[in-house]
Chain A
C-alpha cells in the first residue's frame, strides 16, 4: 500500500531534549516536506526537499533541522525543543510529475508536546 509513515505518532518531551521525528514514503517520490499545524494558523511548511541531499527552508524553519540521505526518508530534528514547538506535525511527499499537478500525500501526523 502506498503510504507515508511517521514515528512516533505521539510524543511528550521536555525543553532542550533533542528529538527526531522520522518520515518514510514507499512511493519513490522525489519531493518531501514537513508541515506543522496550529489552531488559527493552519498548516505551515517547515522544510522541504526536492531530492536526495537537496533541502531548503519553508515558511517556519527556525528551531528545526532536516536531512535527506535516502530518497525514502526525511527525518525532522529538533535539536533543542521549546514549548512553542508544541504542535501537530505532518510529513508529505509527491512525485515530480505533470506540470501544475500537485498531489501531495500526507502522513498520519505526529502530535508533539514540549513541556
Chain B
C-alpha cells in the first residue's frame, strides 16, 4: 500500500481556518484519499474522501493536488471540538467497498481558545 506522510502535530486558534497537509508521493491511479479523525477517548470517524477533484462536505473540504501526490484537509472555522488526531489514508479502488484502513500516526490538532 502507498504510504502517507503527515506532520506529527499542528496548532490552530478557534474560529480560524486550518489546513492539514498530507503527502502521498507514491499514490497510484486507483487510490482514493480518505480522511478520518479520532476525538479523545472515541473511535475514529470518517471526515471526507476524494479521488482527483476537490471535495466539500458539511465537515470539511479536501483539496487534492493536480499530480495527486499531496492533499490538504481544510477545516474552515476550527472549533474546540475539532481537536483530534487526523489521519490521511489511501484506499485501493475495489469492486466493492469495505476494506482495510491502514492508519498511520496522524496529525494531532490542537485548537486554542
Report the bound CA distance from A50 to B99 in whole Å.
9
Contact B91 A102 (CB under 8 A): yes
Contact A100 B32 (CB under 8 A): yes
- A95: which of B97, B99, B103, B104 is its contact (CB, 8 Å)? B97
Q: Does B113 contact A (CB under 8 A)?
A: no
Does A12 sit at the interface, judged by CB under 8 A? no
Q: Closest residue of chain B to A89, judged by CB? A: B43
Residue A85 CB within 8 A of the other chain: no
Residue of A nearest to B31 (CB): A100
B91 near A30 with CB under 8 A, answer no
Asked if A102 meets B43 with Cβ closer than 8 Å, knowing A42-B103, A42-B104, A42-B105, the reply is no
**With A and B bound together, what is the CA distance between A17 and B49 in angstroms?**
41
B43, A103: Cβ atoms closer than 8 Å: no
Please count how many residues in chain B sit with their CB below 8 Å of the partner chain's CB atoms: 24
Chain B residues whose CB sits within 8 angstroms of the CB of A31 once the complex forms? 97-99
Q: How many A-B residue pairs have CB under 8 A?
A: 80
**A39: nearest chain-B partner, CB-CB:** B105
Which residues of A lie under 8 Å from residue B32 when comparing CB positions? 100-102
Q: Is B98 within 8 A of A96, CB to CB?
A: yes
The residue on B at minimum CB distance from A4 is: B43
Shortest A58–chain B CB gap in Å is 6
Per-position 1/0 for B98-111, Cβ under 8 A of A: 11110111100000
Q: What are 20 residue pairs bridging A and B, where the CB atoms are less than 8 Å apart in the complex?
A: A29-B98, A35-B103, A43-B103, A45-B101, A59-B100, A94-B97, A96-B97, A97-B96, A98-B97, A99-B93, A101-B49, A101-B97, A102-B49, A102-B91, A102-B99, A105-B46, A106-B45, A107-B43, A108-B42, A109-B42
